[in-house]
Amino acid sequence: MLQEERQNIIINQINLHHKVLTTDLSKLLNVSLDTVRRDLHELEESGRIVKVHGGAVSKSFHLPFQQPQVYAREEKKEIAYKALGLFKEGMNVLMGGGTIMLELARIIPKNHKGTVFTVSPLVALEIAQRSTIRVILIGGEVSHDAYVCTGPTVISQLSELRVDLSFIGANGLSVKDGLTDNDWDVMQVKKALMKASDKTAVLSISEKLDTTQKMQVSPLRSFECIITELSPNDKRLQKYAKVTKVV
């Protein structure tokens, strides 16, 4: 077998699986490990792949220093725009935390009528800064990782509140387990958010669909709708559409 032929096969395998193991290639091509290694070395020199210990990965798979400021920013913006459509003039809404909420906060029109309640200091500041809308921040202990107010104060304040609509971000979302979270305090807050509102919309990027975290916030059917960046008739959403509205 020619060297070039072999290397083409290797490239092919990498494109196919994003990664290859040196030992696998050795068996597949019936050559020694050294030969495979030398091939990988050359392919790396010519910049076609990235060699790692144990094998090699495709260049796109190995993201060298790409550090997005906000992960999946565009998708989240898209979701925020859809959500904004539900926020009619004069409504009182309740917003949770997370990057999607921040995007939503950014696009609320300056003179929108209504009141926003939120447990997220960041959301509160963003809205207060950009718009003249009334912002009520529900205070409590500030969580060190999610930057959201949590704790009994939050729960009790929310229990005295009644709003038309709430927006909640998702950590895990699946048909079977509904909305799930991995932080007990945050889970409690989300439950309270839902209790305080007539309707609740879940905002989530599609990547979180069919994932489950440790604790359940609420089953799917209790939500007014699920908002993702996907088209409502996307295949991935169909099983959700049977239980609740998808947007």
Residues that bind DNA (CB under 7 A): 1-3, 6, 21-23, 31-35, 37-39, 41, 51-55, 111, 132
Pull the structure tokens for residue 175. Answer: 């048909």
The pair of structure tokens assigned to 39 is 């091939």
User: Who contacts 144 (Cβ-Cβ below 8 Å, separation ≥6)?
Assistant: none
**Cα–Cα nearest to 16, from 56, 53, 73:** 56
CB of 62 vs a copy of itself, minimal distance in Å: 6
Look at strands 215-218 and 178-181 and give their pairing: antiparallel
CA distance 92 to 95: 10
| Least Cβ distance, residue 74 to a copy of itself (angstroms) | 14
Figure out which of the listed residues 145, 221, 233, 235 binds a copy of itself, where binding follows CB under 8 A.
145
Instruction: Tell which positions 54-73 bind a copy of itself, by CB under 8 A.
Output: 54-55, 57-65, 67-72
- Nearest distance from C-beta of residue 52 to DNA, angstroms: 7
HSE of 118 in the Cβ direction (CA atoms, 13 Å)?
Answer: 27
Cα–Cα distance for residue pair 62/123, rounded to 1 Å: 34
107 binds, among a copy of itself, DNA, none (CB under 5 to 8 A by kind): none
Task: Identify which of residues 127 and 179 has a Cβ nearer to DNA in the complex.
Answer: 127
Closest CA to 198 of 169, 226, 229, 223: 223
| Contact pick of 76, 101, 163, 171 for a copy of itself (by CB under 8 A) | 171
Binding residues (CB under 8 A) for a copy of itself: these are: 2-5, 8, 15-19, 21, 24, 47-48, 52-55, 57-65, 67-72, 98-99, 102, 121-122, 124-129, 132, 134-147, 149, 151, 153, 157, 171, 182-183, 207-208, 211, 213
